[in-house]
A and B are shown apart, each in its own frame.
Chain A
C-alpha cells in the first residue's frame, strides 16, 4: 500500500494543475504559469526552487485559498476554481493538512486543541479521527505519541513552552489528524537542525504511508530529497 509502485498505478492524480495562470495583483507580472503539474495519489514529492519562485503560492492554489486567473486546479478529482470560497474552505478542511515553516501553533490552545483544530472545521476529519482513536482528543494523543511527543501533560502544556522541533511535530500531528488525503508541508524543517530534520521527515513518511497520503513537501534543503518518490524543481514546470 505504501510502496510507490502501487500508488503510481493509481489512475486519478491527487493534484493536477492545467494551464494555470496566477498573479498576485492585476498589474504585476505572472507569478505562476504552470501548464501541467500532477501528483499521483500516495506519491511523496519534494518541491524546491529559488526563493520567491512561487512555491508557497502554488501550495495556496492547491489548498484553494487562492484561485488562478486562468486554468484548472483539480484536487482529488474536484475542480477547485468553480467552487465558492466557502466550498473551497470546506474542501481544504476535509482533504488537505498543512505544516508551515515556523510558529505553526495557536498560542492560546493547548497541545491537544492545536492538533484537533482541523476537526473543528471538518466533519469528515472529525469522524475519521473519532473512528480511528475513539475520540478526537484520544486520536490527537495517539498521533502525538507516535510522533515522539508522548508527554504526560499534553492537555495542560503551554505550546509556547515547546521547543521548535516539538512544535513542528505538533504541527505534523495537526496536518495528519483525521487522515486527510493530502498533506502539504511548506519548509517545515527549516527551523530544525540536521538530525531533527531527518527524524521529522521520517516520521512524516511513516504517518503518510499508513493512510496512503499524498505528500507535497517544499524545502530548500536538497539533502532531504533522497527519500522522496520524486523531486520537482518549480522552474522546470513554472514558466511565466
Chain B
C-alpha cells in the first residue's frame, strides 16, 4: 500500500527520479561490464591453453613466454634448435609435441609455422580438437590454413593464393610474388587466439625467411630457388608439449628448465596464467574499485535527491498522518521510494549490459576472441546486484528515518 504511494510519488517527480535511476543504471552497467569482460577474458585465456601441459621456449620469463607463444603478445626472445625439439619429443613422458615458429604477420594477423601435429593434437576449451570449416590440414605445395577470424577478416577462400612476406605486413617491399601460399583449409572458430592466425608448415616459413634481397641482388640465385632446393633447417620459437600423464608435468618442467643443451624455460600454462592474473589483478581491481565508486556515487545522488525532497515533503507527511498514516508508514514510504529507485536502476543497468553483450557477442568473439561465457547472469552477479539494491534500501533509511522523526515531532501541525 505504501509502496503504491511511493511509486506514485516517484512518478510525480519523474524527472529527478529518472536521473537518479539513470546514474545508478550506468554505474551498474560499468560494474557488470567490467566483471563480465574480466570473466570472459579469463575464460577464453584459460580455454586457449587448457589442452597444453607444458610450453617450452628459449630462456624467457614465464609470463612473457606464455604471452608470445599462445597469445601473440610481445616478441619471442630467442629461437630453439630443431634438435632440442627432437630431444623433447623423444622423452618417454611426452605424448605429443607441437613445434611453433613465430615472428611473422600478414595484414595484422600472426603467421605461425607449425607441423601437422598442431591440427592433430592441439586442444582448447574442454578438450576440444580443432576442426575445419572447409579443407583440411596441410596438403599440397605451400599450404596455408586460416583461423576462423583471420579468414573472415581477410576474405580468403580455399584455393586462394596468399602472398606472405617475412616480418612486416602489407607494406613489405620484400614480397615473394613468385612464391605464394595456397589456402588449404579454414578452421572453425574456437574463441581463442587460434582464430586470429595463419598457419603454414615450418618448411614453408623457413623458405620465406631466406633473405629476400639475396634474390634481388642475384637473379641467378633466384632462378635457382625452387622447392627441390635443399630446404633450410627450420628454426622454432616454442614447443607445445602434451604429456602422457598430467602429474608428470612438474618433473618434466624441472628437467627441461635444467636442460644441458641450451637454456630453456618450460612453463605450466595454467600456472603461468595464474601469475599473469595476479599481475593484471591490480589493474582489474582498480577498475572494479572505480566501478564500485560509480555505484556509490549513483546511490549518493539518490540520497541527495531524497534528502532535498524531504523538507518540502513535511506537509505531505502531515497530511498522510492526518489521514491515519503511522510514522512507520511514513518511514516505509520513503524506504519504498529508495528501494524502487535502486531496484529500477539496477534492473535497467543489468538490461543494458545484457543487451549490449547479446548484441556485441559475435563482435567480441571475432575481434578479441572473447566468448561471453553464457548470457545468463552468474550467481555472483545476482548477488552483487542484490547487494546494490539492499545498499539502496539501507541508504533510503537515512531520509526515511528523518521523515519518521519529523512526522513524530510534527504530528499534524503543518508549519511553513
A interface residues (Cβ-Cβ under 8 A, vs B): 56-57, 59-60, 63, 65-66, 85-86, 89-90, 92-94, 98, 100-101, 103-109, 113, 117-118, 120-122, 174
Q: Which of A56, A90, A121, A174 has the most CB of B within 10 A?
A: A121
Q: Are B11 and A108 in contact (CB under 8 A)?
A: yes
Q: How far is the CA of A121 from the CA of B326 in the complex (A)?
A: 9
B244 within 8 A of A: no
B128 interfacial contact with A, CB 8 Å = no
Complex alpha-carbon distance, A239 and B3, angstroms: 45
Please determine whether A105 and B319 come into contact, CB atoms closer than 8 angstroms: yes
**Contact stretch, chosen from B51-59, B280-288, B408-416:** B408-416
Q: How far is the CB of B236 from chain A (nearest CB, A)?
A: 74
Picked from A92, A93, A104, A122, the residue with its CB within 8 Å of the CB of B319 is A104
Asked if B178 is at the interface (CB within 8 A of a chain A CB), the reply is no
Instruction: Please tell me if the beta carbons of B326 and A100 are within 8 angstroms of each other in the complex.
Output: no
**A105 partner residues in chain B, CB cutoff 8 A:** 319
Q: Given A103-B414, A108-B11, verify A63-B322 contact (CB < 8 Å).
A: yes
Beyond A60-B413, A93-B324: 9 further Cβ-contacts under 8 Å? A86-B328, A89-B325, A89-B326, A92-B322, A93-B323, A94-B324, A107-B12, A118-B323, A121-B323
Q: Which residue of A lies closest to B410 (CB)?
A: A65
| Interface assignment of B1: CB less than 8 Å from any CB of chain A | yes
Complex contact A108–B323 (CB within 8 A): no
Evaluate contact between B324 and A122: CB separation under 8 angstroms. Answer: yes
Q: Counting CB contacts under 8 A, is B320 at the interface?
A: yes
In the complex where A66-B411, A108-B8 touch, is A103 in contact with B323 (Cβ < 8 A)?
A: no
A106 in contact with B319 given A57-B413, A60-B412, A86-B328 (CB within 8 Å): yes
B138 to chain A, nearest CB (A): 73
Task: Report the number of A-B residue pairs with Cβ-Cβ less than 8 Å.
Answer: 70
Determine the distance from Cα of A79 to Cα of B13 in the docked complex, in whole angstroms: 41
Given contacts A89-B326, A118-B323, A121-B323, contact A108 B414 (CB under 8 A): no
Which residues of B have CB within 8 Å of A90? 324, 326
CB distance from A87 to the nearest CB of B (A): 10
- The reply to whether B324 and A65 contact each other, CB–CB distance below 8 Å, is no
- The 9 lowest CB-CB distance pairs between A and B, nearest first, are A93-B324, A121-B324, A108-B12, A65-B411, A98-B322, A89-B326, A117-B323, A118-B323, A108-B9
With contacts A106-B320, A108-B8, A120-B1 taken as known, whether A60 is within 8 angstroms of B326 at the C-beta atoms is no
Measured between alpha carbons, how far is A101 from B414 in the docked complex, in Å? Answer: 9
Contact B326 A107 (CB under 8 A): no
* Known contacts A108-B9, A108-B12; is-contact A85 B321 (Cβ 8 Å): no
The reply to whether B324 and A92 form a contact with Cβ atoms under 8 Å apart is: yes
Chain B contacts of A109 at CB under 8 A? Answer: 5, 8
Check B411–A100 contact: CB distance below 8 A. Answer: no
Task: Decide if B381 is an interface residue (CB 8 Å cutoff).
Answer: no
Q: Is the CB of A60 within 8 A of B411?
A: yes
Q: How far is the CB of A110 from chain B (nearest CB, A)?
A: 9
- Asked if B402 CB lies within 8 Å of chain A CBs, one says no
Please report which residues of chain B, range 313-339, place their CB below 8 angstroms from some CB of chain A when the two chains form the complex.
315-316, 318-329
Residues of A contacting B316 in the complex (Cβ-Cβ under 8 angstroms): 106-107
A174 proximity list for chain B (CB < 8 A): 323
- 26 of the cross-chain contacts (CB-CB < 8 Å) are A60-B411, A60-B412, A66-B411, A86-B326, A86-B328, A89-B324, A89-B325, A90-B326, A92-B324, A93-B323, A93-B324, A100-B414, A103-B414, A104-B319, A106-B316, A106-B320, A108-B9, A108-B13, A109-B5, A109-B8, A113-B8, A117-B320, A117-B323, A121-B323, A121-B325, A121-B329
Q: In the bound complex, what is the Cα–Cα distance between A94 and B5 (angstroms)?
A: 20
Smallest Cβ-Cβ distance to A100: which chain B residue: B414
A78 to B413, CA, bound (A): 23
Residues of B within 8 A of A106 (CB): 316, 319-320
Contact between chains at B324 and A56 (CB < 8 Å): no
A182 smallest CB distance to B (angstroms): 12
B329 neighbours in A (Cβ, 8 Å): 121
Contact A98 B326 (CB under 8 A): no
Residue in chain A with minimal CB distance to B13: A108
Contact across chains for A98 and B412 when beta carbons are under 8 A apart = yes
Instruction: Say how far B319's CB is from chain A's closest CB, in angstroms.
Output: 6
Q: How far is the CB of B268 from chain A (nearest CB, A)?
A: 64
CB contact under 8 A between A56 and B322, given known A106-B316, A108-B9: no
Cβ of A86: which chain B residues have Cβ within 8 Å of it? Answer: 326, 328
A190, B328: Cα distance in complex, Å:
31
How near does chain A come to B409, taking the closest CB pair, in angstroms? 10
**Most A CB atoms within 10 A — which of B5, B11, B319?**
B319
The answer for the CA separation of A108 and B5 in the assembled complex, in Å, is: 8
Residues from chain B with Cβ under 8 Å of A93 in the complex: 323-325
- List A contacts of B324 (CB < 8 A): 89-90, 92-94, 118, 120-122
